[in-house]
A and B are shown apart, each in its own frame.
Chain A
Amino acid sequence: AQSVTQPDIHITVSEGASLELRCNYSYGATPYLFWYVQSPGQGLQLLLKYFSGDTLVQGIKGFEAEFKRSQSSFNLRKPSVHWSDAAEYFCAVGGGVTGGGNKLTFGTGTQLKVEL
Chain B
Amino acid sequence: GAVVSQHPSRVICKSGTSVKIECRSLDFQATTMFWYRQFPKQSLMLMATSNEGSKATYEQGVEKDKFLINHASLTLSTLTVTSAHPEDSSFYICSGQGVDLPRRTEAFFGQGTRLTVV
B46 touching A102, Cβ below 8 Å:
no
- The winner among A45, A96, A100, A108 for most chain B CB atoms within 10 A is A100
Would you call A108 and B43 a contact (CB within 8 A)? Answer: yes
Q: Report if A51-B57 is in contact (Cβ < 8 Å); known contacts: A44-B93, A103-B34.
A: no
Main secondary structure of the interface of B (DSSP, over half): strand
Interface size class of B (residues with CB under 8 A): 20 to 34
Q: Is A116 an interface residue (CB 8 A)?
A: no
Q: Which residues of B contact A106 (CB under 8 A)?
A: 43-45
CB contact under 8 A between A102 and B1, given known A43-B112, A90-B43, A108-B43: no
Task: Check if A43 sits within 8 Å of B43, measured CB to CB.
Answer: no
Q: Are B105 and A96 in contact (CB under 8 A)?
A: yes
- Asked if residues A104 and B51 are in contact (CB atoms below 8 Å), the reply is no
Contacts of B43 in A (CB 8 A): 90, 106-109
**Chain B contact residues, CB within 8 Å of chain A:** 1, 6, 31-32, 34, 41-46, 49, 51, 57, 91, 93, 95, 97, 104-112, 114
Which 9 A-B pairs give the minimum distances between C-beta atoms?
A101-B32, A43-B111, A44-B109, A43-B112, A106-B43, A108-B43, A106-B44, A43-B109, A101-B97
